[in-house]
Amino acid sequence: MRYIVTGGAGFIGSHIAEALSGKHEIVVIDDLSSGHCENLKGIDCEFVEGSITDLALLQETFAGADGVFHQAAIASVPRSVEDPLATHAVNLTGTLNVLIAARDCGVRKVVMASSAAVYGENPELPKREEMAPDLLSPYAAQKLSDEHYAAVFSKLYGLSTVCLRYFNVFGPRQDPSSPYSGVISIFGSRILEGEPITIHGDGGQTRDFVYVRDVVQANLRAMASDAEGVFNIARGEQTDLNTLARTMMQAAGKGVEIRYGPPRGGDIRHSLAEISRSREVLGWRPEYAIQTGLAETMRWI
Ligand code: UD1
């Protein structure tokens, strides 16, 4: 099979490319705005440097492809708040380009990255796919619009599509130096450097963390199945920040000072996914316990 991975030099995309490497023909397309070529070290793939905003490039690159794993995005809520237009160009128009190019090239299936951001502050837990969205940022609006475009392309042009709503994904290659990094990569690098970590608020907030290798398996299952639509990708488990900090220190075999700062503006308090649809329809289930994923992540950092 010939597969395209957009954003394949990035965090999640490079893990997908790695899983396909040696078994299939892989083309990675990435503009290296947040991805890094080092993420592709040892991965057998063709690399195309370019942006998903370039439709002609996508139409050329997607020729002969069987499937597209669409991971390219400016994956940042704060960036989208600062610059709605630039993030719209990549996250929404870029995704539309991916769908058009896939349709034009006769690609069978597009599996794309969506986000738990679409649930916003809806307090109902666990979050179920059929719940009403609550959009709090341009990023959330862009991802939900992507899902709608995917559904329309399925109906209108017979392009099979799946949208995976990622919750808090963590693992190796998540860049700790970015101001938009996830909490696990930030805590991990601080702990290993022996520096204090800061918890925004009282640490009682919870997230549904999922290890990147499980996210890869969800993508592969979605590509292999006939399923279409929207699926939550998470462990279906709540971890509070205080517990997370303690577990990470245990995994590192090293303690650092925990500082408590003011709560971060716009933070949601609790997050938890219902994952029965992914289990039943995609036949996927998360295999990595948080501790196992954290240990692998700490070894990488
Ligand atoms: C995550 C996603 C985001 C998505 C959103 C949907 C990541 C990196 N971000 O944001 O793309 O749109 O879910 O709901 O996965 N924290 C600290 N100290 C730190 C850093 C963070 O206490 O040094 C806290 C934050 O205040 C927050 C929690 O850790 O309460 C998680 O933060 P973060 O990893 O940035 O993810 P989300 O805000 O959940």
Burial of 30 (0-12, 13-18, 19+ CB in 10 A): buried
| pLDDT for 137 | 94
The radius of gyration of the chain from alpha carbons, rounded to an integer in Å, stands at 18
Could you tell me if the CB of 116 is within 6 A of ligand 1?
yes
Say how far apart CA 145 and CA 163 lie, in whole Å: 11
Could you tell me if the CB of 117 is within 6 A of ligand 1?
yes
Sign of the torsion formed by the C-alpha atoms of 156, 161, 167 and 170: negative
Sketch out the chain's domains with CATH numbers: 2-167+211-234+274-287 (3.40.50.720), 170-206+238-270+292-300 (3.90.25.10)
Burial of 89 (0-12, 13-18, 19+ CB in 10 A): middle
Could you tell me if the CB of 199 is within 6 A of ligand 1?
yes
Strands of the chain, DSSP E: 2-6, 25-30, 46-49, 67-70, 109-115, 160-166, 168-170, 197-200, 206-207, 209-211, 229-233, 239-240, 258-261
Mean pLDDT by 10 residues, the chain (301 residues): 98 98 98 97 98 98 98 94 97 99 98 97 95 96 98 98 98 86 95 97 98 98 98 98 97 96 90 98 98 94 88
| pLDDT for 167 | 98
Q: Are 212 and 12 contacting, i.e. CB atoms less than 8 angstroms apart?
A: yes
Q: Closest ligand 1 atom, CA of 190?
A: 23
Say how far apart CA 220 and CA 20 lie, in whole Å: 9
Q: Whose CA is nearest to atom 29 of ligand 1?
A: 183
Q: Whose CA is nearest to atom 16 of ligand 1?
A: 183
Say how far apart CA 239 and CA 136 lie, in whole Å: 23
| pLDDT for 180 | 74
Return the exposure string of 48-65: e unless at least 16 CB atoms fall within 10 Å of the residue's CB, then b.
Answer: bebbbebbebbbebbeeb
Distance from residue 151's CA to the centre of ligand 1 (Å): 28
Could you tell me if the CB of 285 is within 6 A of ligand 1?
no
Q: Are 170 and 209 contacting, i.e. CB atoms less than 8 angstroms apart?
A: yes
| Residue 296: closest CA among 28, 15, 10, 38 | 15
Q: Closest ligand 1 atom, CA of 119?
A: 14
Enter the pTM of the model.
0.97
| pLDDT for 267 | 87
Question: Which of 76, 183, 198 is the best mutation target for the ligand 1 pocket, counting ligand atoms within 8 Å of the beta carbon and taking the most?
Answer: 183
Could you tell me if the CB of 281 is within 6 A of ligand 1?
no
3-state secondary structure of 33: coil
Question: Catalytic annotation on 139?
Answer: yes
Q: Whose CA is nearest to atom 18 of ligand 1?
A: 199
Say how far apart CA 102 and CA 141 lie, in whole Å: 23
Interface pTM (ipTM) of the complex?
Answer: 0.94
Burial of 245 (0-12, 13-18, 19+ CB in 10 A): buried
Could you tell me if the CB of 225 is within 6 A of ligand 1?
no
Torsion of CA 78, 278, 214, 222, to 10 degrees: -90
Q: Are 211 and 255 contacting, i.e. CB atoms less than 8 angstroms apart?
A: no
Q: How far is CA 51 from CA 56, 175, 203, 214, in A?
A: 10, 20, 38, 27
